């Protein structure tokens, strides 16, 4: 009777061990199988890029950033005086005639209105608190006030502020509040891989430094809102680089 009892004990221990191992394995797999997705901490960005084509040398590239750029600083008393000395939009370099798409669903406020960025422009109200303004367009957009547009719909063709199509063709893109008094950084509202886009670009990537506060407003994302007609934000006592004529 001893031998069968030992076999029974061995069998019992082996089953017990297997059960314990199974429980450990189940325990390990539970958190990944049944755990809830981590809470979304970042706010979803409501808008898409203004071009359907991917970026590249034959399509479009990121040009001048929004905000406290060196170019805006140097031209704060002329081009950018209305926006507190900031570049109050985003420049996207593109050959003339590149199709521009709406950042989001919305209603056209108007084409060729008093919104700057000659020779042609377009303003769309997205009815989510934001409006988008597309500037330096090639021609008057074929849309009129009140027209409904869908996100991704072609709404205009890109042009050149000098109307030459070979000097500095680009889209100047602004995001304004619904009251049309505030400009904000489009990068924080358009869903795109901005860090990668910023690796290649044409000009104006640098941000002006105030040597008295050298880390202020130095990244893509950390740029101040601009208030139309507000005082200069970059009248620095110790600017770097120093101001120089248009570049
Ligand atoms: Zn611009």
Band (pLDDT 50/70/90 cuts) for residue 36 is very low
In DSSP terms, 114 is beta-bridged to none
Per-residue confidence (pLDDT) for residue 39, from 0 to 100? 46
How many whole angstroms from 90 Cα to the centroid of ligand 1? Answer: 6
**Cis upstream peptide for 3 (omega within 30°):** no
Residue 14's pLDDT band (cuts 50, 70, 90): low
**45/130 Cα distance (integer angstroms):** 12
Could you identify the residue written with the tokens 């805006």?
72
Our separate counts of H helices and E strands in the chain read: 3, 13
50 alpha carbon – ligand 1 mean position (Å) = 14
Place of tokens 């409006």: 131
HSE on the CB side for 142, CA within 13 Å? 5
- Which residue has better confidence, 96 or 77? 96
pLDDT band of 78, cuts 50, 70, 90: confident
Distance 98 CA to ligand 1 centre (A): 17
The residue extents of the domains of the chain are: 61-222+234-240
By percentage, how much of the chain surpasses pLDDT 70? 79
Q: At 114, phi and psi to the nearest 5?
A: -80, 55
- For residues 126 and 132, is the Cβ–Cβ distance under 8 A? yes
41 or 178, which is more confident: 178
* Nearest one of 146, 145, 144, 141 to 50, comparing CA atoms: 141
Start-to-end CA distance of the chain, whole Å, equals 100
111-133 pLDDT, tens digit each: 999 999 999 999 999 999 999 99
Distance from Cα 173 to the centre of ligand 1, integer Å: 7
Q: How far apart are CA 72 and CA 54, in angstroms?
A: 27
CATH of 61-222+234-240, one of 3.40.50.1820, 1.10.760.10, 3.30.300.30, 2.70.70.10: 2.70.70.10
Q: How far is the CA of 13 from the centre of ligand 1 (A)?
A: 76
**pLDDT band at 3; cut points 50, 70, 90:** low
Q: Hey, CA dihedral for 122, 123, 127, 131, is it positive or negative?
A: positive
Give me ligand 1 centre to Cα 172, in Å: 4
Instruction: Please state the pTM of the whole predicted model.
Output: 0.80
> Is there a contact between 247 and 208 (Cβ–Cβ < 8 Å)?
no
User: Each residue of 155-203: pLDDT tens digit?
Assistant: 999 999 999 999 999 999 999 999 999 999 999 999 999 999 988 765 5
**pLDDT category, 9, cuts 50, 70, 90?**
low
Q: Which two tokens stand for residue 37?
A: 């997705």
Which tokens sit at 81?
A: 């005086």
pLDDT band at 242 (very low <50, low <70, confident <90, very high): confident
Q: Which residues surround ligand 1, an ion (CB under 5 A)?
A: 89, 91, 172
Query: Ligand 1 centroid vs 66 CA: distance in angstroms?
Result: 8
């Amino acid at each position: 009777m001893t031998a069968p009892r030992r076999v029974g004990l061995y069998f019992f221990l082996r089953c017990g061990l297997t059960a314990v191992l199974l429980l450990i394995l189940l325990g390990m797999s539970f958190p990944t199988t049944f755990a809830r997705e981590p809470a979304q901490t970042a706010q979803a960005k409501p808008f898409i890029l203004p071009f359907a084509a991917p970026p590249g040398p034959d399509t479009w590239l990121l040009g001048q950033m929004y905000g406290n750029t060196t170019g805006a600083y140097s031209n704060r008393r002329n081009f950018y005086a209305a926006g507190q000395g900031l570049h109050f939009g985003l420049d996207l370099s593109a050959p003339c005639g590149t199709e521009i798409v709406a950042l989001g669903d919305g209603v056209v406020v108007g084409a060729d209105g008093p919104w700057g960025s000659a020779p042609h422009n377009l303003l769309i109200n997205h009815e989510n608190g934001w409006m988008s303004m597309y500037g330096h367009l090639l021609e008057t957009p074929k849309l009129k006030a009140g027209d409904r547009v869908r996100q991704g719909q072609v709404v205009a063709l890109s042009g050149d502020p000098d109307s030459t199509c070979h000097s500095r063709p680009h889209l100047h893109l602004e995001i304004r509040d619904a009251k049309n008094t505030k400009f904000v950084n489009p990068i924080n509202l358009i869903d795109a891989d901005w860090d990668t886009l910023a690796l290649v670009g044409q000009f104006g990537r640098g941000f002006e430094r105030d040597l008295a506060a050298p880390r202020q407003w130095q990244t893509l994302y950390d740029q101040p809102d601009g208030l139309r007609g507000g005082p200069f934000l970059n009248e620095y006592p110790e600017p770097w680089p120093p101001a120089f004529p248009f570049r």
